[in-house]
Amino acid sequence: MTTFSQIAPMLSGQAIELPSWAFGNSGTRFKVFGTPGTPRSVEEKIADAATVHRFTGLAPTVALHIPWDLVDDYTALRRHAEDLGIALGTINSNTFQDDDYKYGALTHVDPKVRQKAIDHHFECIDVMDATGSRDLKIWLAEGTNYPGQGDLRGRQDRLAESLATIYERLSGEQRLVLEYKFFEPAFYHTDVPDWGTSYAQVAALGDRAMVCLDTGHHAPGTNIEFIVMQLLRLGKLGSFDFNSRFYADDDLIVGAADPFQLFRILVEVVRGGGYGPANESGHSDVAFMLDQCHNVEDKIPGQIRSVLNVQEMTARALLVDREALTAAQAAGDVLGANAVLMDAFYTDVRADLAAWREENGLPSDPMAAYAASGYQQEIESTRVGGTQLSWT
């Protein structure tokens, strides 16, 4: 039986990247809600992200979204983050909020529109050069609503050509990470709807092109851990966007809807070698990132709860008795094998994690420590005036 003391050393290297946009205002298709203390600048977003890391020790980087996080000097922004004890991480492109992209961006029939979208990604790579970021993450809102609206094959061919042009601009250890989503905002077909399409596109690009798996971007009932296994097996799982869904792309706090699913995903991550110490370049091969919208809850506590949920399910996944599981599987012991997984899932590691945090100079209860810190009251009283940031 694996014990917590055996897995404790493996928890120290866990890093979960925060999305800058989670600290801004968000909402539904019908309204974006404002809340006191919401950042009015990218620098204030980064300060909030650094606060999450200070209380959890789990979030050393923050992802940026361009142009939501547009600034004049990214080298200065990098120094700002470093002064607060964190670093700038993944750079996310945006080709879904410009009128020119109504019928597509990287897949558009007009070469001028495609070039505009490609040039935007070149700008994102320039940002990466200044921030020291490794990953350029691309999510495309492209597709069609009606049969016959677009040439399905032609759109894939144009996408392949556009991605290849972007990929060629990357340098050093920089990676292109292609996200997928099975529907929305297009409803008849989406140009990158599933992991297979994303894999087919990045496999044609090269070793530094990977797939991003958003846990909310699947049809109900999809076996996500199978996809995790397959991408790890193929060496093409680049990153996660962790969140929860009940119905569609709900972007809720990770683990809120189905903690057992999060556990099963992390079991496959551990089994497939996707979790562990950083490689010689200082990066883990599979990046853990949150992608959430906090519509009704306070944003900083929402992010704290999220990273703690990932940490807890990681600990439970590490507790799986691999030797016993392998033996049961080899013997055809169906119930025994299932029991090994369920024993790990039902193990309450909260007290052990609280003690581990104290041993590592962190508050045993980060949620309570944040509530008592006064930071929330401070930002609500000082962030007055100006324009609160949001994704609209």
**Which pLDDT score, from 0 to 100, does residue 28 have?**
80
* The pairing of beta strand 237-242 with beta strand 189-190: unpaired
In a domain, 357, yes or no: no
- What are the CA-CA distances from residue 121 to residues 52, 94, 109 (Å)? 29, 9, 18
In a domain, 99, yes or no: yes
- From CA 87, how far away is CA 74, in angstroms rounded? 12
Cβ of 78: how many Cβ atoms within 10 Å? 18
In a domain, 23, yes or no: yes
**Which pLDDT score, from 0 to 100, does residue 390 have?**
86
pLDDT one-digit tens code per residue, 186-244: 999 999 999 999 999 999 999 999 999 999 999 999 999 999 999 999 999 999 999 99
The enclosing H or E element of 177 equals strand 175-179
254: amino acid identity, one letter: V
**Which pLDDT score, from 0 to 100, does residue 32 have?**
87
Cβ of 97: how many Cβ atoms within 10 Å? 11
- Provide the domain limits for residue 44: 14-316
In a domain, 369, yes or no: no
In a domain, 1, yes or no: no
Closest CA to 389 of 299, 267, 305: 299
**Which pLDDT score, from 0 to 100, does residue 389 have?**
85
Dig out the tokens for 136 from the structure.
């350029």
pTM: 0.96
In a domain, 90, yes or no: yes
In a domain, 149, yes or no: yes
**Which pLDDT score, from 0 to 100, does residue 29 have?**
76
In a domain, 44, yes or no: yes
pLDDT one-digit tens code per residue, 277-299: 644 444 458 999 999 999 999 99
The pLDDT tens digits along the chain (392 residues) read 789 999 999 999 899 999 999 999 988 878 888 899 999 999 999 999 999 999 999 999 999 999 999 999 999 999 999 999 999 999 999 999 999 999 999 999 999 999 999 999 999 999 999 999 999 999 999 999 999 999 999 999 999 999 999 999 999 999 999 999 999 999 999 999 999 999 999 999 999 999 999 999 999 999 999 999 999 999 999 999 999 999 999 999 999 999 999 999 999 999 999 997 644 444 458 999 999 999 999 999 999 999 999 999 999 999 999 999 999 999 999 999 999 999 999 999 999 999 999 999 999 999 999 999 999 999 999 999 999 988 76
Instruction: Count structural domains, the chain.
Output: 1
Backbone phi, psi, residue 16, to 5°:
-125, 115
Percentage of residues of the chain with pLDDT beyond 90: 92
- From CA 136, how far away is CA 166, in angstroms rounded? 10
Give the CATH number of the domain where residue 118 resides: 3.20.20.150
